Amino acid sequence: MRVKGETVRRNKRQGGYDWSFLWLAVAVVATGSMMLVASDSVPERIPSYVSWTPETIAAAYSGDDFRGMLLAKRCEHCHGAEGFSDRGSTPNLAGIDRLTIWKELEDFRSRKRTSRVMEPIAESLSSRDVADLVAYYARLPVFADLQDNRNFPQARPDPSHAGMASHLVSFGDGGRGIPPCQSCHGPVAYRPGVPSLANQNGEYVLSQLEAFAGGTRANDINMPMRTISSLLTEDERQALAEYYGAGLGLQPGSSSGAR
Amino acid sequence: MNWRKLRIFILTVLALALIPATRYYQIDVPLLHFLKGSRAIDPLTLHLAGEFVENNLGTEQGADGSVTVRMIAQQYLFVPHCILVPAGVPVHLRITSADAVHSLAFNGTDYNVKVLPGTISEAQLRFSNPGDFKTVCREFCGAGHYAMRSELKVVPREQFPVLRAGERGNCAAQ
Ligand SMILES: [Cu+2]
């Protein structure tokens, strides 16, 4: 059995232990907080509220194409009765995949993509309307129908432009870091929300490439198109627009731009 | 009594030495995860919130002269496409992927950083001399892989622009 005095002394020593561990804890916490990256808070710029989560994709695929057909009467005047516009500056919607049309309409609705014409139209649509319209347009056939006065396809570009464009579409330009258009826009590979350009009007393609390069269209998630388009020369943008506008985008493989 | 003090002292020194050591060798220890927070990140929502939103990409100037570079790798490009950093200062690289596995290799150097979706890859780089580097993806990532290249410009320290708060440097700002 110990004397009382000894126990007291022991406790004091024990106190020494505690004290040193406190130091250690302080040191660790201090170093840890020093390692935390101090980030100044800047308001973030969001290109689009859409993200390709399974929920989003399910929502975009939930539409009823028959109801979409009825709603599409409102769009006919500009986008054409069969989804092919009679004006080169208005996009063709026939056969464009559901995710793209859904995203563009959502972006017009949230004003992340600006268009004086489309913003009020998209705003007047409910979420269900959007899904139904998307189902309808994605289903429309893309083969030529000579009955309506569609703008597509336009005359073939001259050989130098055609060659320049087809090289960029198939191979891109590794030296400048431009990936081939067909690796995202098809028919070689597709990605969610990337439209096929195979049946798109040349004039519209050019206007969008210029808008991406100039930053007036900035709704592409993680900036692929703003980056790529600003690496292209004006002549290349022109050539690519002529190429797609003439329907040459179909050639590398598939027989139709529809998925 | 002396022994105990010595033991405590040695343990403390070792514990503290562990921190720079794990930093230097980029060892992934649970302690660091605990202290710094998880490095997990959702590749689908990079553009909505967090440190990889558009306007936070590029070169951030640190108060200590070092810089932090944030990039996104995606099929088939790196954004920002051209990175600007000053020569001779520590460069903290933070990069993540929006889709597949990529790697960011700086041609002419032995830096090659693996980039995985869902996590932030970190690397400490330093470029002593000014010059232009091509950066390439060295991990096959799909149809457009071979064109997945971008640029890194190393400029003398005094040529690096002074950035306003919240501003991020890139080649266009030079
Ligand atoms: Cu890659």
Q: Which residue of B has its CA nearest to A177?
A: B149
Residue A126 in contact with partner chain B when CB distance is under 8 A = no
Picking from A37, A173, A225 by the largest number of B CB atoms within 10 A of its own CB, the best residue to mutate is A37
The CATH number given to whatever domain includes residue B148 is 2.60.40.420
Question: Residue B140: inside a domain, yes or no?
Answer: yes
Cβ-Cβ pairs closer than 8 A, A with B, add up to: 126
- Give me the residue from A37, A51, A189 closest to B142, CB to CB: A189
Residue A36 in contact with partner chain B when CB distance is under 8 A = yes
CB A136 within 8 A of CB A69: yes
CATH 1.10.760.10 fits A54-139, yes or no: yes
Q: Is the pLDDT of residue A1 over 70?
A: no
Helix (H, G, I), strand (E, B) or coil at A173: strand
| B17 and B80 together in one domain | no
Residue A111 in contact with partner chain B when CB distance is under 8 A = no
Phi-psi region of B118 (alpha: psi -120 to 50; beta: other; left: phi over 0): left
| B14 and B71 together in one domain | no
As a whole number of angstroms, the distance between CA A248 and CA A157 comes to 10
| B68 and B10 together in one domain | no
| B32 and B68 together in one domain | no
As a whole number of angstroms, the distance between CA B56 and CA A114 comes to 23
> What is residue B149's predicted lDDT score, i.e. its pLDDT?
94
Residue B118 in contact with partner chain A when CB distance is under 8 A = no
| B110 and B63 together in one domain | yes
Structure tokens at A114: 């600006």
Residue A186 in contact with partner chain B when CB distance is under 8 A = no
> What is residue B26's predicted lDDT score, i.e. its pLDDT?
54
Q: Measured between beta carbons, which residues in chain B are less than 8 angstroms from residue A254?
A: none
The number of distinct structural domains making up chain B is 2
How far away, in angstroms, is B71 Cα from ligand 1 center? 13
Same CATH fold assignment for domains A54-139 and A159-255: yes
CB contact under 8 A, B44 and A177: no
Which of residues A10 and A148 earns the better pLDDT score? A148
CB contact under 8 A, B165 and A183: no
| B61 and B25 together in one domain | no
pTM: 0.83
The CATH number of A159-255 is 1.10.760.10
Q: Is the pLDDT of residue A191 over 90?
A: no
| B168 and B104 together in one domain | yes
User: Which residue ranges make up each domain of chain A?
Assistant: 54-139, 159-255
How far away, in angstroms, is B97 Cα from ligand 1 center? 9
User: Residues of chain A with pLDDT > 90: what percent?
Assistant: 65
- Give me the residue from A24, A51, A182 closest to B44, CB to CB: A51
HEC assignment per residue over chain B = CHHHHHHHHHHHHHHHHHHHHHHHCCCCCHHHHHHHCCCECCHHHCCCCCCCCHHHCEEEECCCCCEEEEEEEECCEEECCEEEEECCCEEEEEEEECCCCEEEEECCCCCEEEECECECEEEEEECCCCEEEEEEECCCCCCCHHHCEEEEEEECHHHCCCCCCCCCECHHHC
Q: Which domain holds residue B12?
A: 2-36
pLDDT 10s digits, B129-146: 999 999 999 999 998 999
Question: Residue B42: inside a domain, yes or no?
Answer: no
Per-residue pLDDT of chain B (174 residues; tens, 9 = 90+): 689 999 999 999 999 988 777 665 555 555 556 666 677 889 999 999 889 999 999 999 988 889 999 999 999 999 999 999 999 999 999 999 999 999 999 988 888 888 989 889 888 999 999 999 999 999 999 989 999 999 999 999 999 988 888 889 888 766
Question: Residue B111: inside a domain, yes or no?
Answer: yes
The amino acid sitting at A67 is: R
